[in-house]
Amino acid sequence: MSKLKSFLFAGTEGWSRTALKLFWILVFAMPIGVVLLFVGLSFTDLPSVTELENPKNNEASPVLASDGSVLGRYFVENRVMVDFKDLGPHLEAALVSTEDERYYTHSGIDWQSLPRVVIKTAILGQQSSGGGSTITQQLAKLLFTEQVSANIVERGFQKLKEWIIAVRLERKYTKEEIIAMYLNRYDFINGAQGIRAAAENYFDGKRPSDLNVEEAAMLIGMLKNASLYNPLRFPDRTRNRRNQVLAQMVRNNRISRTEFDSLSALPLGIKFTRQRHDDGLAPYFRMVLAEEAKRILSQEPYLKSNGQPYDIYRDGLTFYTTIDPVMQQHAEEQAVAHMRQLQKQFFQHWKSLDPWTYTNPYSETEVRVDRRQESLQNAIRHSDRYQAYRNAILQPVLDAVGEKMDFRFSRNDREIERMMQEKEEPGAIDEAVRLNLISEDFADRHRKVMRLPEFAELERAWKELQRTVKTEFEKEVKMRVFTYDNDRMETDTLMTPLDSVRYHKMILQIGSMSVEPSTGYVRTWVGGSNFKWFQYDHVTTKRQVGSTFKPFIYAASIDLRGITPCQRVLDQPVTIAPGDGNFHLNKPWTPRNSNGAYSYADYTLYQGLKNSVNTISAYLMKELASTEPVRNMVANMGIPKEEIPDAPSIALGSVDLTVQQLTGAYTTFGNNGVFIRPVFLTRIEDRTGRVIYEYLPEEQPAISPQANYVMVNMLSRASVGNLGGVEGPVGGKTGTTNDQTDGWYMGITPELIVGTWVGGDDRWIRFRSLGLGAGSNMAKPFFRRFVRAAQEDETIGWDTSKDWIRPEGELGIEMNCDAYNGGNDDLLEDGQLLSDDPFGNSPDF
């Protein structure tokens, strides 16, 4: 029997000894293995120290107004970093209570929750932020690790990587910094990347520090799964999750049971506003600022340390601007009020006529009807609806043709149309070459395309596209259009796509900029009638300036020749002939007044400027004997000399300038004759607050203080009328170009210079009468509305008692016309010339 037992249990004793050996091997080997595994993982694709210190975030770049408020942001993700101190008390309490109760006692890994992690995350594959992951681990997952794998082994390795990164993060950052980084990084969806955007979007612009307990609890509840607890789609589910967070706060003694009972009964209180690039004040300005910032940051002194330019949409820069948000609000509101009224006049004015076919037999500068129709066709082709038809019908054929070419095939509709024209009327391409519309080489490429077998299919597709567009663009469909009839400035209606294009092209536009003359700071910027519908900026667009250029002729004459504004000039034809002065003319130039007539009366320069008498400006130009004095002077006022034509017609305003350029030049009048280059961007900082760029003021004398004082006096007298309600010293000059295409008003006060242009994007979008189309009706009323509103706003602190700077001592220029003209200064001052303004402030070229 004993032998039998020995035989039966001999194997068991051997197995026990083997098992025991294996047990002790595992006891000692596992820790070593884990250590080796950690070491091995440390040399894989884990982030470096540099990456830990500078985690990559798509961080929005705020644009700050002059008072530090946010005008808007540039972003790919609307993410603005906030510090822990800016989170307020409730977010931290809710976060730690719900996500990581032992947060302040562990070093990145909560070993007490490890068994739960293994079961929930590694085995069950749950991808929630909870389940044992510490706040630090969740941050590691957001910053540096990939999405959760379906493979259990890969999930295990990923979890180990999170642990390693979490430990490293705990060594590099404080607990407070980690909380801030986590909340800044998390995507709260619906365009809310990070806690700052989440608070703003979901709770009507609140800052994180302003959130109350229940609002903070809702946002922290979203951390578990933002899509699952989306308050816009699942409010009941999100409210239940919020209450779970509040319950955790009770458990951790962050709020009382009584507070929980009252707070858990409250609704979510969502007031959602999605932040977009064009939200907020000054959207046109911010569009221009973006391009200016890119230009600056592409220059060598402002590049990153690696030689790459900063990305304004991702690098979390801060842009400091000079825009006054209160003034900007008034400017935008008054622009809408003025343009609403003007647009009503315009539609009434054209109610029985068509701007695309109307002709004025007496106009010498009107745009030809065929050019207008071509422009309308181009507008149709740029519409989204046309492009959709084009992509479906024409684009596949264009792709097939392009593959057969050994050169870059032009896919422009105008070029395709020219080939079709050549097919119907041979010689059209040669004619285009003769007219220098295309090169001979480009013409050869047209002909090569036409010889392809695929050209027949291109012709068929083109004709099908034209038939489709003609049919579909004349069908009434439901659409949304721009309107002044409500606060949203849009309405749903039935309209044909063709009528929609024509309608929106008939909306008048405005471009206005104001500058503080003593500093050059740009305070307001209105680039158009509505940024959502019309995104073309008119402050930086060149238009003919008309009579607003005449003050420069007067200023040069007074400054360089020392003439008095009391000097009288006969209103009669003035001719500058070939050989006169240094004008280098090939034929005589004899300008007319805007009404085509001459009064043959004597007028002072005061009266000539006020009424834009063309003959007087021409007389002054002839006396200067060259355009150089004027061109040099305006160059000192910030307008590049090469942009001013070397032609005497500049005396009447035959110059194309932007509102930005012209307003900048006029600031010289408001600053004692010294030009200070207007500035709207004063500083750029990186995400750490380091200054990348800072502007340096540019100023230079342009007009003598004596002549400048005379000019502001003349401009003040020229602006009399239609400025009711504007307090303090004020002056200005209207401008109207041929056919009432452009209406201008350049308004000056000691506090602010305001330049305004109003007109249509196309030259034929205009009033047909001078009474409606003059600058005095198109642009001047906006200046009055805006300045009056700004002066009445006590928060702005407009000093209406501030006066123009008068140089000390004698001016040396007589301004008392009673003394100069022997007591006959009032000639025509109260007569028809000034009161009825027959010249209409409009030049005639």
pLDDT tens-digit profile of 663-722? 999 999 999 999 999 999 999 999 889 999 999 999 999 999 999 999 999 999 988 777
pLDDT, position 446: 87
pLDDT, position 176: 93
Burial class (CB in 10 A: 0-12, 13-18, 19+), 268: middle
Q: Is the pLDDT of residue 193 over 50?
A: yes
More confident residue, 4 or 737: 737
Task: Tell me the pLDDT band of 832, cut-offs 50, 70 and 90.
Answer: very low
Over residues 345-356, mean pLDDT: 95
Residues 718-753: pLDDT tens digits?
887 778 889 999 999 999 999 999 999 999 999 999
Terminal-residue alpha carbon distance, the chain: 134
Cα 438 from Cα 425, distance rounded (Å): 17
pLDDT, position 114: 63
Structure tokens at 747: 């308004």
pLDDT, position 412: 84
pLDDT, position 842: 38
Q: Is the pLDDT of residue 829 over 50?
A: no
Q: Is the pLDDT of residue 837 over 50?
A: no
Exposure b/e, 502-517, CB count within 10 A at least 16 = b: bbebbbbbbbbbbbbb
Taking domain 511-836, whether its CATH number is 3.40.710.10 is answered by: yes
Task: Tell me the pLDDT band of 156, cut-offs 50, 70 and 90.
Answer: low
Structure tokens at 783: 């200046």
Run of H or E including 516: strand 509-516
The backbone torsions φ and ψ at residue 318, rounded to the nearest 5 degrees and listed phi first, read -125, 125
Q: Is the pLDDT of residue 15 over 90?
A: no
pLDDT, position 274: 77
Architecture of domain 84-263: Orthogonal Bundle (1.10)
pLDDT, position 6: 55
Residues 239-290: pLDDT tens digits?
999 999 999 999 999 999 999 999 999 999 999 887 776 778 999 999 999 9
pLDDT, position 58: 77
Cα 819 from Cα 48, distance rounded (Å): 84
Q: Is the pLDDT of residue 657 over 50?
A: yes
Cα 74 from Cα 55, distance rounded (Å): 20
pLDDT, position 844: 33
pLDDT, position 780: 97
Sign of CA dihedral 700, 704, 706, 711: negative
384-393 and 395-404 helices cross at what angle (nearest 10)? Answer: 50
pLDDT, position 143: 80
Mean pLDDT of the chain: 87
Q: Is the pLDDT of residue 624 over 50?
A: yes
CB 338 within 8 A of CB 781: yes
More confident residue, 410 or 769: 769
pLDDT, position 142: 83
Q: Is the pLDDT of residue 585 over 60?
A: yes
Residues 82-125: pLDDT tens digits?
999 999 999 999 999 999 898 988 877 776 666 665 555 555 55
pLDDT, position 377: 93
Share of the chain above pLDDT 70, in %: 85
Cα 40 from Cα 34, distance rounded (Å): 10
Other Cβ atoms less than 10 A from the Cβ of 810: the count is 7
Q: Is the pLDDT of residue 4 over 50?
A: no
Cα 319 from Cα 136, distance rounded (Å): 32
pLDDT, position 51: 55
Residues 21-74: pLDDT tens digits?
666 666 565 556 555 545 554 445 555 545 555 566 678 899 999 999 999 999
Cα 401 from Cα 460, distance rounded (Å): 13
Q: Which residues contact 46 (CB under 8 A, 6 or more apart)?
A: 144, 161, 164, 165
CB 429 within 8 A of CB 443: yes
pLDDT, position 45: 55
DSSP string, 371-416: HHHHHHHHHHHTSHHHHHHHHHHTHHHHHHHHHH-SS-----HHHH
